[in-house]
Amino acid sequence: MDSSARLFNRERTVHQILGEGIVADVMLWRQRNLTVGILFVTLAAWVVFERSGYTLLSLLANVLLLLFVILFLWAKAAAILNRPPPPLPNLQLTEEVVNEAAALVRTRVNTLLSVSHNIALGKDPKLFLKVAACLWLISVIGGCTDVLTLGYTSLVIVLTVPALYERYEDPIDRYLIMGYVELRRLYARLDAECFSKIRKWILEKRKLN
């Protein structure tokens, strides 16, 4: 299909837009086993948290407790039976890794604070409206569901919508473009019949005042 018939007149494929890496492969089901595994694991986690009454903190504590008990018993049995101890790697954070992480966090936080400062002082009204709309939408969604369900639903959407769009790209683009054209026609008609008269009425009122 010609790029002019594509949504937003794009020339790149969906895989190219998503970065052409492993994330794109997972989202577009090009690594089917990995994608199915992610969906299965997240579904199992959602069921555990929602149906069993576990919280993230209690589940983490129980998993760590079980792990430490297994390793402790393994080490004691190995010492008694003259067997090698559990093969635990010596994990350490290097100073370089810590410094890089701290620099990245500092940069992101400073950017966020700068943007927040500009919004609070009214320097960017458009950004303020966008942030306000996003926060309002998050508030509405948060009132309808919990974070865990929202996260799982979002993951399912991320792993299904791009793949379905890539598979049925041509008809989806065609119908969306047709819908966009119809909306523009509707807006033009409303502008000619209603909005222009309202603007004219406002201008006349201003002149009289």
- For 96-117, the pLDDT digits (tens) are 888 888 998 999 899 888 888 8
| Sign of the CA dihedral running 34, 35, 40, 42 | positive
pTM above 0.95, yes or no: no
Helix axis angle, 169-190 relative to 147-167, nearest 10°? 100
113 token code pair: 């604070």
More confident of the two residues 203 and 26: 26
Q: Identity (one letter) of the amino acid at 52?
A: S
Q: Does some domain include residue 185?
A: yes
pLDDT of residue 87: 81
Q: Are residues 151 and 178 in the same domain?
A: no
More confident of the two residues 30 and 208: 30
- Per residue in 145-190, pLDDT (tens digit) is 777 778 888 888 888 888 888 888 888 888 888 888 888 888 888 8
More confident of the two residues 70 and 5: 70
pLDDT of residue 5: 56
Q: Are residues 114 and 159 in the same domain?
A: yes
Domain count for the chain, please give it: 2
On whether the CB atoms of residues 131 and 119 are closer than 8 A, the answer is yes
Q: Does some domain include residue 148?
A: yes
Identify the domain containing residue 154 by its residue range: 100-167
Q: Identity (one letter) of the amino acid at 10?
A: R
pLDDT of residue 1: 52
| Sign of the CA dihedral running 49, 53, 57, 60 | negative
pLDDT of residue 66: 92
